[in-house]
């Protein structure tokens, strides 16, 4: 996720880091070449004049803009829901940690530490599952190597960690160290965390239908390639400038929609899952009166991972 300080309107015109411009320069250069070709040939291909004018492009542009808006809204809805789910992970983890610290007997300090560590490990494990990265380092740091070896064969590690938390609390209840009412309270928060896992898995495993992306991609490039042949008679030498500007707007919107539609990826505009997981760890450790790690800050490119 790009996190930049507020800038005035003029400096925003020249922002490079965090802009999708650097990823679409090859496409813009290609369309600049097509526009230059249209100017040099006066809109002809193999000696034949392309019979295009600005009227159909106006109508077609309106329809394309509406389609782009639909695609961007669909992508942002996925991004917004993903952020809501991770916010709920933080809320439910805090609530469950607070209950554990208040309602477990004071002589069960080891259980308290292990349960809080398991909740932190759950957040990191969920992050790694969504990004398809190796969670071993974080899990060993929080749970110990023996526990990680037991988890190694598990396909759904966040769910397995939640099961371990529930199992430990159930054993304490069987030993009559916590009441059934308190166990019910703990269980409600564990169910909330399990719900967030299912929500995140649903977003990660159900992308926007491929046909939408293909149709939009083809339509944008067809429009941008034909545009200079429709404008060359009226704009002449200014055709490449106008066409590249229009192409920048349309292709950049498509690129942003692609990035935002995958909120758990490591793209610049995806969710900063590393920072969110670190924030959950800091919050739970602070509740436990334990030393907290440093906050994760954006790098020199203003990207927060």
Taking only the tens of pLDDT, the chain with its 305 residues reads 666 667 766 677 767 776 788 888 899 999 999 888 888 888 778 777 777 777 777 778 888 888 888 888 989 999 999 999 999 999 999 999 999 998 888 777 788 899 999 999 999 999 999 999 999 999 999 988 888 888 888 889 999 999 999 999 999 888 888 888 888 999 999 999 999 999 999 999 988 888 888 888 888 998 888 888 888 888 788 888 988 998 998 898 888 888 888 999 888 888 899 999 999 999 999 999 989 888 877 776 666 67
Token readout for 49 is 């004049």
Q: Does some domain include residue 258?
A: yes
Q: What pLDDT score does 100 carry? A: 92
The residues with which 141 forms a beta bridge, in sequence order, are: none
The residues with which 45 forms a beta bridge, in sequence order, are: 48
Q: Does some domain include residue 167?
A: yes
What does the alpha-carbon distance between residue 171 and residue 168 come to, in Å, rounded to a whole number?
A: 5
Q: What pLDDT score does 264 carry? A: 92
Best CA proximity match to 36, nearest among 222, 220, 228 = 228
Q: Does some domain include residue 5?
A: no
Q: 145-179: string of b/e by CB count within 10 Å (b at 16+)?
A: eebbeebeeeeebbbebbebbbeebeebbeeebbe
> Would you tell me the crossing angle of helices 21-40 and 239-260 to the nearest 10 degrees?
150
Q: How many other CB atoms are found less than 10 A from the CB of residue 11?
A: 9
Q: What pLDDT score does 301 carry? A: 64
Best CA proximity match to 125, nearest among 77, 93, 95, 171 = 93
What pTM was estimated for this model as a whole?
0.87
Rg (CA), the chain: 26
Whole-angstrom CA distances from 122 to 18, 35, 89, 135, 275 are 30, 53, 10, 10, 15
Whole-angstrom CA distances from 32 to 40, 133, 228, 241, 299 are 12, 39, 9, 8, 33
Whole-angstrom CA distances from 300 to 15, 143, 207, 250, 259 are 14, 32, 31, 28, 21
Q: Does some domain include residue 103?
A: yes
Q: What pLDDT score does 23 carry? A: 85
Q: Does some domain include residue 61?
A: yes
- Counting the structural domains of the chain, the total is 1
Domain that holds residue 197: 20-44+52-287
Give yes or no for a contact between 105 and 119, defined as CB atoms under 8 angstroms apart. Answer: no
Q: Does some domain include residue 12?
A: no
Beta-sheet strands, E only, within the chain = 44-45, 48-49
Tallying the residues shown for the chain, one arrives at 305
Q: Please return the burial class of 56, using the count of CB atoms within 10 Å of its CB with bins 0-12, 13-18 and 19+.
A: exposed
Q: Does some domain include residue 7?
A: no
């Amino acid at each position: 996720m790009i996190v930049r300080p507020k800038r005035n309107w003029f400096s925003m015109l020249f922002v490079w880091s965090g802009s999708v411009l650097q990823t679409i320069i090859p496409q813009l250069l290609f369309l600049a070449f097509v526009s230059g070709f249209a100017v040099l040939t006066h809109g002809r291909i193999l000696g034949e004049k392309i019979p295009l004018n600005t009227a159909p492009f106006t109508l077609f542009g309106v329809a394309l803009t509406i389609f782009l808006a639909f695609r961007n809204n669909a992508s942002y809805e996925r991004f917004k829901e993903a952020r809501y789910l991770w916010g709920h992970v933080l809320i439910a983890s805090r609530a469950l940690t607070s209950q554990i610290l208040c309602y477990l007997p004071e002589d069960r300090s080891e259980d308290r530490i292990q349960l809080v560590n398991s909740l932190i490990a759950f957040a990191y494990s969920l992050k790694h599952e969504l990004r398809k990265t190796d969670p071993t380092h974080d899990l060993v740091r929080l749970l110990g190597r023996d526990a990680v070896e037991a988890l190694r064969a598990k396909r759904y590690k966040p769910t397995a960690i939640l099961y371990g938390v529930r199992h430990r609390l159930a054993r304490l209840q069987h030993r009559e160290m916590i009441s059934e009412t308190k166990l019910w309270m703990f269980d409600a928060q564990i169910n909330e965390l399990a719900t967030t896992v299912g929500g995140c898995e649903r977003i990660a495993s159900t992308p926007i239908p491929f046909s939408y992306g293909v149709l939009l991609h083809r339509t944008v490039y067809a429009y941008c390639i034909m545009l200079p042949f429709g404008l060359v008679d009226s704009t002449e030498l200014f055709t490449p400038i106008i066409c590249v500007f229009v192409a920048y707007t349309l292709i950049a919107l498509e690129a942003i929609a692609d990035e935002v539609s995958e909120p758990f990826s490591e793209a610049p505009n995806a969710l900063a899952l590393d920072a969110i997981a670190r924030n959950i760890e800091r919050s739970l450790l602070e509740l436990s009166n334990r030393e907290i790690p440093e906050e994760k800050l954006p790098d020199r490119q203003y990207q927060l991972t």
